[in-house]
Structure 1
């Protein structure tokens, strides 16, 4: 079986609207920290030089949002209203695991430019590749945005979906939609310009707000979709980290292809 990594890294050297901090504790610092903890919590003095090389274990502390790197958005991310559930939208820890290990297909939107793609474009692409999605398939959108990863252009130059496109995929039975872009919606500047020019509130983040009426998840900030050797006939595994009561969770997305 061939495994293809579809995840982008969390990297504190990348440009991010919400910067990531990464603090490393060296193995020597880990030894000193362990000794101080032993003294504080158990009243035991420990000579760190008794350890091999005078070192214990290293550690890393990251400070970041749950929407940094490849992550799965839960319905709770889209707002407090969920017309489909009396108890409100589910957080990331409450979603069914079987949503996140499913057959998948990828649609090529690299020539769509910057802006919002409609249902007609997705239907034409499915017709081009000759595939009819099955219920619960994972849909992947290859916009080519990951070529800008780590730069400001990553957040402003990509194709997103409009409301019709999201509902089109959900009507096919899709419950997880993934993109290699920063957002499943069009870039923020494009949305705000369109709203300023039209005054139409339906252009304001329609892909996300569709989740207030229909339960589904997004995977944002995928990578390497252009390395998939075929547009369907593979499985994607993208289990989100079980963060209690959170609106999203980081994921290591992987495509599994039988030889």
Structure 2
């Protein structure tokens, strides 16, 4: 079995990030001093950190970030709390079996900034000679991960329109992934389209489809171009179990024989 990392890195030093990450590190030496201080303040115990090997205890990382930073899974509750399908579930309430299954990657690197539609996806099914089935995890390779670290990562990518999203849901797909910032078109693109047409359907159609039928998105994937074929691999993308959250980080991995 060969493992291929499909996840982007959470990096506090990244120059461009929608919601900046704060990452502070308590070094092992500082950890020893911290432990000694805690013992003294809370239990009245005097402890000399110098007795520890090299005078060090353990490091500690503290991060401030959103659940939508890095590669993450959006839960139904992220799409809205008022739905026609009842009360939407949070990330900690979803079935584990959704997040491990056969993978299917669709090449959308040819598509311009904006969205693709259902006919575009059907064309890709024909190209790979396969139509996704219930239980499959569908991954959209847009090529946007090549723009990570630049402003264009948030403005230049392809998403799904309502017809494309509903086509995948009609096929029984519960998890749709993308290497772009969002499964919808870029924010500015949608707003400009709405201003021109007055059509509310162009505003976050992929996300809002989740108000009608439960499904999850994996956003900010990476390395989809390294997959050797469109099918024939498994995907594992279990989200972190955060109580009551609308999303959870995941270390998405492809497993190839």
Range into which the TM-score falls when normalised by the shorter chain: over 0.9
Structure 2 CA distance for aligned equivalents of residues 65 and 159 of structure 1? 23
Structure 1 CA distance for aligned equivalents of residues 38 and 172 of structure 2? 52
Instruction: Show CA shifts across 1:151-206 (max 9, x none).
Output: 21110110000010000000111010000000000000100110111111111100
Structure 1 CA distance for aligned equivalents of residues 139 and 171 of structure 2? 14
Instruction: Show CA shifts across 1:63-87 (max 9, x none).
Output: 10000000000000000122123xx
Structure 2 counterpart SS, 1:232: coil
Deviates more, 1:149-158 or 1:64-73: 149-158
Structure 2 CA distance for aligned equivalents of residues 151 and 48 of structure 1? 44
Structure 1 CA distance for aligned equivalents of residues 233 and 140 of structure 2? 15
**Structure 2: tracts of 5 or more residues without a match:** none
Residue 39 of structure 1, CA deviation? 1.2
Residue 217 of structure 1: aligned partner: 216
Structure 2 counterpart SS, 1:249: strand
Residue 9 of structure 1: aligned partner: 9
Structure 2 CA distance for aligned equivalents of residues 221 and 245 of structure 1? 22
Task: Give the ranges of 4+ consecutive aligned residues of structure 1 lying more than 4 Å apart after TM superposition.
Answer: none
Structure 1 CA distance for aligned equivalents of residues 206 and 42 of structure 2? 50
Structure 1 counterpart SS, 2:101: strand
Residue 169 of structure 1: aligned partner: 168
Query: What is the number of equivalent residue pairs in this alignment?
Result: 256
RMSD, aligned CA: 0.7
Residue 70 of structure 2: aligned partner: 69
Structure 2 CA distance for aligned equivalents of residues 132 and 109 of structure 1? 16
Residue 104 of structure 1, CA deviation? 1.1
Report the TM-score, using the length of structure 1 for normalisation. 0.98
Structure 1 counterpart SS, 2:145: helix
Residue 150 of structure 1, CA deviation? 1.8
Structure 2 CA distance for aligned equivalents of residues 167 and 99 of structure 1? 18
Instruction: Show CA shifts across 1:30-56 (max 9, x none).
Output: 011111111122111111111111111
